[in-house]
Chain A
Amino acid sequence: MRRHLSALLLAMILLAPGVAVAQLSANEQKLYEGAKKEGEITWYSAHSAADVLELIGRGFEAKYPGLKVNVVRATAQVAFQRLSQDLKANSAQCDVFSSTDVGHYVYLKQNKLLAKYVPENARKIFPAYQNLDPDGFYHITSAGLVLITYNTAKVSAAEAPKKWTDLLDPKWRNQVSLGHPGFSGYVGTWAVLMKQLYGWDYFKKLEANKPQIGRSINDTVTMLNAGERSVAAGPAETTIRSAQKGNPLAVVYPEDGTLLMYAPSAIMANSKRPNGAKLFMEFLMGVEYSQIIVEQYGEPMRPEVKLPPELKPIDQIKTLRPTVDEIVNGVPEVKELWRDTFGV
């Protein structure tokens, strides 16, 4: 209910006479006028759950009356596969592409399939998120954290692991829950980071504790809630959201560094609605969007947005973020190593 009320409230504020128009910059105004003539834009996105993406789509429509965004939610690999089929068939369906796999953007940029656009808002987001692609073809519009999570009914705050190497302690034998890098970009990137920090030996030692391997990083939330496992390398957003409902979950920001996972968006070169697409990119880096995200316990892009007490501001956490190259080259490698070490 809350999220709908707030969306409604947002819409009311934005629709108030004079306010919306006054907020638009000259560039925005120009794009808005152009977009009105182009029709519905299509957004392929793997960034959030379907209902959150719908909220974002509606937020956009509320801010820019008369425009429509067609939200196509899919997991990153399915979204990319669809995009590839579209490109093969020469049919320009997708205007803005939001995957969680940075490798997709490197490939698309190399093959000249992306349109260059640096949104005005790009320099207003947290510095940690700025300037992912120096050439300005793709930009971070979504972020998440991977940290240590645990079941508070089984593990006290004092006992809980404080850093990633604590998970290697034999007392967590049969108690650790993980996702799988073949199913989750979060887990893949996390594995790259762990390998950078401690070498692949980290996972060989972890295997001695017989961790349970799921698929999505969100599977760890289910496993902790069920009591099947008591500690995990899990996602901040889903874990905190579940804990908010009253589930026995808590998070630890590891001393040796929380993984900052980022997901870009980009405009397709073949987009037939360039104004709408550019305006949408502006929106993804705007305040209203971050407001919607924060209400779902996601990480905001903009510092102006007030955080709920459960979230720690990004600039107060020790975060680590592998570079695009490290991820693109590292993830396929850790997937292979993972399969050798864990058997799946």
Chain B
Amino acid sequence: MRMTPPDSAGTTTIVPRVETRPDGATTWMRSFEPAMLLWLLLIAILAFLVLSPMLRLVFASFEDRVTGAFTLANYAEAYGRPRYVQALFNSLALGASVAVIATLFAVPIAWAISRTDMPAKGFIRMVVLGAFIMPPYLGAVAWMLLAGPNSGWLNRIWIGLTGAETGLFNIYSFTGLAFVIAVYSYPYIFVFTNAALDLVSSEMEDAANILGAGTWRTTLNITLPLVFPAILGGIIVVFLEAISLFGTPALLALPARFNVVTTQLWQFFEFPVKVETAAAYSMPLLFITIGLFGLQKLILARKGFVALTGKGGERRLIRLGPWRWVMFAYCMFIGALSVFGPVIVLAQAAFARAWGRGFSWANLTLRNFEYLLFEHDSARQSIVNSFTYAGATAFIAIGLALCIAYIVNRRLVPWGGVLAFMCMAPFVIPGIVLAIGFYAAYAPPPLALSGTATIMILAFATRFLPIAYANSAAGIRSINPEMEEAVRILGGGRLLAIRRVVAPLLKKSLVGGWILVFIPATRELSAAIFLAGPHNRVMSVLLYDLSEEGNFEVLSAFGGLLLVATLIVVAIGFRAIGRDFMLRGN
């Protein structure tokens, strides 16, 4: 088992289950043991992290701002204008468009790396990892420079080559926005799909070949449908990411003259702040999440995906012949869109004294890096903070998710589906709203976590719990309970079974999950911006501050530092643990 995607069996545990087995409760009572206390503790933690801030949000949406009395006025205000409702539809359209584009980016790359003899696979994995590490906000800034209608490099090249009057691309458009978000979220679909493809044996493809189907037909009719649950899982994550992102739409949608849910939400935080209206306005996001998981269940319900047993089966690479170079070119093209192009424009600014003057020797300098590394008050500290917090976040999220996934999957408590849903729900709560919930719940005494690293780590852990959970749930599902039962028959407790059987089997999957939480945690912006205190600013917040200051040379240099530092940390992580999930060769 490597990075395990959510498979068909998993989807049933994500959705709240309404039917309970008649003997469920009694079985549960009979199997009571000391370890149950630990489970209860975990549930309490989940209540603390997810339920309490979320309930606060739901209650707030029905509260009068001044009196706190019950009211529906917030909903009337949140949906009382066509403009507000339009933003909601824009977000849905955006999410769907991003999902389509990201799928077109990710699935061919995943297929080529997993199933074919395409060259330079290790390098392509690196490129995908690079796209994943790039903060979407930074990528969007770079794309403004690449495809701005008047000044974008691509447009200037196009005008230079063809003598056309106007440029070819306009990044300030709905398509432009969907494209830029997709360029930095497709790695989610890649990871899920690639892992699933690695598990499909060649037998069924062979069968199709024997019956006369060619490579393409086999891929489209056999291979890809087999991993459809994994692709769908990735698509849902990307869809949710697209509708809850704030930075990129703020940069691109405003000049394009349209609003999405997150930029609209921002307006409710203008003075006088209408948290209650914002809460009411965020409710559809929660229903959309529930709806998506329902849809996923519906789509996958009546089909079997037995190839995902993880058992046996020979795997051979498909020989593509000359097409291997076509696939390679496609991967490099996606790499150019997500990494090479943006990094080049950012590098130009990062090494420039005055980036508005363009390329010239006189304009080259290392000054921006020197300033950030040796003179800036918080740049170095913010890098250290980011990695420490992201690391802690990943441990907490994975630890918690694993335990919950275990409880849910092994049906140790009734209503496991509700727990699973609670783990998935934070994904669609916009970061700023989640942060408000956290601040309201835990900044005042008795906890008094205001401005501490703890409140940031807890908020991050909550925000990325869904990713950790999707990963852990799939991992747990892949382990046959019989192995644990063997331990228990021989007299071992459940904790021993977990320590000696489950944990070692899950190791690789957990490392992958850890990285999947760690990276987004280093790029998280919207919650961090609200929770960061003076001594615990993180890289993303500093990046945002620099962009507000209009100091583009230093902003780009810092973006470069951020990318390099993250790459180094991730590489060290891989080396230390001995495994990785994206750089692994076959």
Where the two chains meet, the residues of A that have a C-beta atom closer than 8 Å to any C-beta of B are 1, 4, 49-51, 54, 70-78, 80-82, 84-86, 88-91, 93, 101, 103-104, 107, 151, 153, 174, 180, 182-183, 212-216, 218-222, 224-229, 235, 238-239, 241-242, 245-249, 335, 339, 342-344
Q: Does B79 contact A (CB under 8 A)?
A: no
Contact A245 B549 (CB under 8 A): no
Contacts of A220 in B (CB 8 A): 550
Are B534 and A71 in contact, with the CB atoms below 8 A? yes
A-B contact pairs, 13 of them (CB 8 A): A84-B273, A91-B450, A218-B549, A220-B550, A229-B150, A238-B549, A242-B356, A245-B353, A245-B354, A246-B357, A249-B356, A343-B257, A344-B253
Which one of B94-102, B317-325, B374-382 contacts A?
Answer: B374-382
Contact A78-B529, Cβ < 8 Å, known A54-B377, A216-B548, A246-B353: yes
- Interface range for B: 35 or more
B272 close to A (CB within 8 Å):
yes
Residues of A within 8 A of B445 (CB): 89, 91
B552 touches A222 (CB 8 A): yes
Q: Does B258 contact A (CB under 8 A)?
A: yes
Contact A212 B172 (CB under 8 A): yes
A226-B144 contact given A89-B445, A246-B353, CB 8 Å threshold: yes
CA distance A219 to B251 in the complex (A): 9
Whether A227 and B356, one on each chain, are in contact in the complex, defined by CB atoms closer than 8 angstroms, is yes
Q: CA separation between A245 and B530, bound complex, in Å?
A: 32
Q: B64 to nearest A CB, angstroms?
A: 15
**Cβ-defined contact, A91 with B444, below 8 A:** yes
> Is there contact, CB below 8 Å, between B145 and A226?
yes
B267 CB–A CB distance under 8 Å: yes
Count: A-B pairs, CB below 8 Å: 161
Q: Is residue B443 within 8 Å, beta carbon to beta carbon, of the partner chain? A: yes
What are the residues of chain A within 8 A of B547 when measuring CB–CB?
216, 222
A141 CA to B548 CA, complexed, in Å: 20
B39 CB → nearest A CB, Å = 32
With CB as the reference atom, state the residue of chain A lying closest to B440.
Answer: A85
A153 and B356 contacting across the interface, CB-CB below 8 Å = yes
Provide the residues of chain A in CB contact with B275, threshold 8 Å.
81
Within B165-183, the residues touching A (CB, 8 Å) are 172
Contacting pair A247 B254 (CB below 8 A): no
Closest residue of A by beta carbon distance from B529: A78
A103 to B273, CA, bound (A): 12
**Contact yes or no, A77 B377, CB < 8 A:** no
Q: A73-B545, A91-B443 are in contact. Are A214 and B255 (CB under 8 A)?
A: yes
- With A72-B451, A245-B353, A246-B353 given, name 19 new contacts (CB 8 A): A49-B549, A50-B545, A73-B534, A75-B548, A76-B271, A77-B269, A77-B273, A85-B440, A91-B448, A153-B356, A182-B270, A213-B257, A218-B549, A218-B550, A221-B550, A242-B551, A247-B357, A344-B253, A344-B263
Per-residue CB proximity of B347-381 to A under 8 Å, as 1/0? 00000011111000001000000010001111000
Contacts A246-B354, A246-B357, A344-B253 given; does A89 touch B443 at CB 8 Å: yes
Name the CB-closest residue of A to B266.
A182
Contact A81 B450 (CB under 8 A): no
A238 contact set on B, CB distance < 8 A: 549-551
Contact A246 B550 (CB under 8 A): no
Task: Establish whether residues A213 and B552, one from each chain, have CB atoms under 8 Å apart when the complex forms.
Answer: no
Q: What mask results when residues 537 to 559 of chain B are scored 1 for a CB within 8 Å of chain A, else 0?
A: 10000100101111111000000
- For B152, the closest partner residue in chain A by CB is A228
B259 on the interface (CB 8 Å rule)?
yes
* Complex Cα–Cα for A344 and B253 (A): 9
Q: Which residues of B contact A242 (CB under 8 A)?
A: 354, 356, 550-552
In the complex, what residues of A have CB within 8 A of residue B567's CB?
none
**Inter-chain contacts of A225 with B (CB < 8 A):** 354-356, 552
Point out the residues of chain B lying under 8 angstroms from A222, CB to CB.
547, 550, 552
Q: Considering the complex, give the chain A residue whose CB is closest to the CB of B166.
A: A174
Contacts of B548 in A (CB 8 A): 49, 75, 216, 218
Q: Which residues of A contact B149 (CB under 8 A)?
A: 228
Q: How far is the CA of A138 from the CA of B172 in the complex (A)?
A: 41
Taking a contact as CB atoms under 8 Å apart, the answer to whether A85 and B271 are in contact is no
B413 within 8 A of A: no
Chain A nearest CB from B380 CB (Å) reads 13
Q: Within 8 Å of chain A (Cβ to Cβ): is B514?
A: no
Give the distance to chain A from B272, nearest Cβ to Cβ, in Å.
Answer: 7
B258 touching A344, Cβ below 8 Å:
yes
Interchain CB contact under 8 A, B378 and A107: no
A107 and B550 form a contact (CB under 8 A): no
Contact among A221, A226, A245, A247 for B148, CB-based, below 8 A: A226
How many angstroms between the C-alpha atoms of A239 and B551 in the bound complex?
A: 9
Which residues of chain A have C-beta atoms less than 8 A from B549's C-beta? 49, 218, 238
